Amino acid sequence: MIAYLKDTEAREDTADCKDRVQRLQDLAYETQDEIEEFMYEVPEHFHRNRITKFLHEVAHSVKDVPPLRRFSSRMADFKKKVDDITDFDILQLESPLPSEEALQLFCKKVFQGDKCPDHLVDWCKKIMRRCEDSLQAISYQKEECHLMRQSLRKYLRSLNLIQDIVSLFPAIEFSRIVITIYCPTSTSGCGFIEKKEGKTLEQVANEYLDELVQMSMVQVTRRDFEGRIRSCRVSNLARGFNLSVSEKENFITVLRSPSASLGGGKTRRLSLHNCFPSMLQRTNLSYVRTFSMFGVDNFSESMAHELFKNFKLMTSLDLENAGLQHFPGEVVNLTLLRYLSLRSTRIDSVPNSIKKLQNLMVLNLRNTLITKLPKKTLELPKLLYLFVGCPYVDVGAQVYPGVKCSTSLQKLSLIKANYKEISIVKELGNFIDLRKLGITELKEIEGKDLCASIEKMKHLYSLSVSSAGKEVYLDLKDMKKSPQLLEKLSLGGRLKEIPAWVGELYNLYKIELKWSKLQNSPLEALHALPSLKELHLYAAYTGAFLVFNAQSFLELRILEIEQCDQLIEVVILEQALPKLQKLIIINCHCLDMVRITKNMRSQLEEVRVPQDCVRIIEE
């Protein structure tokens, strides 16, 4: 069916081909609906107790008979419909042209006999690779506009990223793109992200985004100092193209006004922008698989109740910033759900019945009022990402100790180190695939156990640890083997000294020290880190002088010093911090002088230092 669609789509300028493609697309949707309906009625059983599991299986052996019979009957109907669609035997494999001949033919068609401009040669070769040098594929590109439309549409469809572009505003954040990619629409079940051996789905998604950037379909507006995309946008021209293609092919429906309608098609992806049309509450939306909202201020819990009861086959649900104060009860019945975001809502609890979401991969509860998670949350077998708490104020959520945790978890942040005085720090060692860990309220005596757990996390690249109070010490000196892949490190709490293993983190590019109140300068332990680009010192030093010596911090771009109340003087000598771009020294009440060179002053792009404190070092 897939091969047939690919071939006939290249010839869809004929009425017969359009009809066959449409019939096959409709049939594919029907097949998907029936399979997901069957999965919904005959779910994976989550009972583990031997007695309840036996009773459950006996009950379901009877209960599942009607769905099985109905599913078998429907599959027979689908087979007959496929047989009724003619022209399956016309597909022929053609030998590809030699690459040079294919390129010449392509340029002749596109540039009407003229030579291909030098700056377009690479793009023409890329398109030839997409056509696989096929004479038939090239010959169908009748004119330049048609060529560009077809190639872009096919390329975007092959990347499966249209959803992430057309459902967003012209200015979008990279984090929104990644989280949308990384949700159920990115799993093998929906086919949006192909699994690649040795790579996480997020890494593959980043590769897809890079390809879109290279195609100029996405414009980068900000990168971090490692070159990774942090924010980007879609041009109005590209956005209009994406919307027109997606709406024509019924890929996604975007509603922008209260009077908007869904039209006649059964869209699989629905996005609301700054409105909530009243007709949605009385419309059958059982065919919708992905739902998201942007700027819908009037979304109430009664609306949620009416809306979600129609969403039984939903796989992706994004309710960020929705006006919800309670967890929508209907959500736990969406047993096919793989991605759920309730970020920045006012909900304060999660029901125990969340254990029913056995397919859930991403659960985003960040910036909510939730302080405790149900016991079964960490037992969800497919859970990859769990975000909870408020990272800006280091407020985490409690999780139950002693649970049989999912070892597939990759990101866990922020959680409290203790549950009712019972430590969970040792159990964190079960998460051997963890990439990101954020933990708060760590006691001094738990430091050794945390180090032992971290040593088991071979893929860890982001670590945030906060003590049980600003005056409570962090004891992290017992790390025998440092996490070599660590890129981001945040330590919040008193430190007697910077742990020795921090100086061995050769991939570390950002470190944040908060409330450390070190008596000795932290610069000695950090100055030689080869990849360090951001250094944040927040109430981290109680000394009077900080001196950045020559040849130190050679890659540093950002230096922030705040609330070091006893700091009197900062000196940045010649050949120190040669790549510094941003210098911020604020709220240091005793600060009298910041001495920098003339070259340093000219290279800085942003400076936030009391003006009367700056002094230029004479060369």
pLDDT digits 0-9 by tens, 405-455: 667 899 999 999 998 888 999 999 989 999 999 999 999 999 999 999 999
Nearest to 339 by CA among 138, 205, 510: 205
Q: DSSP string of 218-272? A: SEEEEE-TTS-EEEEE--HHHHHHHHHHHHHTTS-EEE-STT----SS--SEEEE
Total domain count, the chain: 4
Same domain, 567 and 485: no
User: Are the beta carbons of 438 and 413 closer than 8 angstroms?
Assistant: yes
Give yes or no for residue 19 having a pLDDT over 60: yes
Per residue, the 3-state secondary structure of 581-616, as one string, reads CEEEEECCCCCCEEEEEHHHHHHCCEEECCHHHEEE
170 is a domain residue: no
Which range is least confidently modeled, 180-184, 308-312, 588-592?
Answer: 180-184
% pLDDT > 70, the chain: 71
User: Of the candidates 461, 482, 516, which is a domain's last residue?
Assistant: 516
Question: What is the Cα–Cα distance from 526 to 370, expressed in whole angstroms?
Answer: 36
Range of the domain at 609: 536-619
Same domain, 430 and 503: yes
Per-residue model confidence (pLDDT) at position 98? 73
User: Of the candidates 359, 384, 410, which is a domain's last residue?
Assistant: 359
Q: Give 96: exposed, middle or buried? Use CB within 10 Å, 0-12, 13-18, 19+.
A: middle
Question: What is the Cα–Cα distance from 121 to 374, expressed in whole angstroms?
Answer: 57
Which range is least confidently modeled, 280-284, 349-353, 462-466?
Answer: 280-284
User: Are the beta carbons of 436 and 413 closer than 8 angstroms?
Assistant: yes
Give yes or no for residue 45 having a pLDDT over 70: no
- The pLDDT tens digits for 124-134 are 777 666 565 45
Per-residue model confidence (pLDDT) at position 556? 96
User: Of the candidates 359, 381, 400, which is a domain's last residue?
Assistant: 359
Same domain, 354 and 325: yes
Per-residue model confidence (pLDDT) at position 459? 92
Nearest to 163 by CA among 263, 242, 261, 264: 242
DSSP lists the bridge partners of residue 463 as 437, 489
CA distance to 191, 262, 299, 371, per residue, from 308 (Å): 24, 17, 12, 25
Considering only residues 11 and 492, tell me which one the structure prediction assigns the higher pLDDT: 492
Give yes or no for residue 482 having a pLDDT over 70: yes
Give yes or no for residue 252 having a pLDDT over 60: yes
Same domain, 336 and 435: no
- The pLDDT tens digits for 559-599 are 999 999 999 999 999 999 999 999 999 999 999 999 999 99
Q: Which two tokens stand for residue 316?
A: 């992706």
What's the mean pLDDT in 265-294?
82
Amino acid at residue number 410? Q
